[in-house]
Structure 1
């Protein structure tokens, strides 16, 4: 009987080791499954964004046709289905006249100076912006009205802007260019 006791203890130790190994492998497998699920969702989101970004010119063409004239019933039906389906994929349109200018989601194309204005406001939407969830697909291209840019050069009440609102700052003068700034 004395011999059975040490064997039993040894078996218990081996069983505990194998149980710990099994629990560790199970935890690693669970973590792996969760990572694969996250990766698949990320790939799906990127693929959805790429498809939606590729269809933005189609939405622009439909909007351009609407501006020209009323759409025919057939084209209106196609436009409605397209917009509904893209909305079901999470596409959101933004950019409205009167919104405060936000350089993170608006691209200022033109700046109209209004000395009485307290802040920059989007006064004309040249093309809407689009996002999926919190990810920006395309900024809204806008005309901005507001106070003159700090140290800016204003000609005829309008300041031409570059991409992403860069034109809201004055371009460097000749002295700055010579310095290499």
Structure 2
């Protein structure tokens, strides 16, 4: 009877450690190095999935520039949109995508910098498995900030060509 109990306990312990290791691996894969707090959840009419935004530099008449940070949870993405004076993205962690209308989707990783040209339709967001952190810069805000357009379809999001 004692042998059965010890064997059962050993088996449970091994299973427990094995399950714990698998959970930790999956969790570690999605950990990102947050420089800033997540901020506020972006509106569902402009994003698919959860995208969190925090403003870092508010617009004013001296700099006419807005700087912020967005955290896209895995699979989250913006709608198609344009910026009258363009947009600069600086990827600070994770993995995601960016696409300019009519061009192939690009994969983005930590350290990548993207220039979105003025008045050009584009979208950006996280990969399905990993979230993405990005800083954004909107220059010359006196020209306007953003025009939100239609949602990015599953086909557009999944198509890497």
Considering the TM-score relative to the shorter chain, is it more than 0.5?
no
Larger Rg: 1
Higher relative contact order (CA 8 A, sep 6+): 2
Q: Which has the higher strand share?
A: 2
Q: TM-score w.r.t. structure 2 length?
A: 0.28
Normalized against structure 1, the TM-score is what? Answer: 0.26
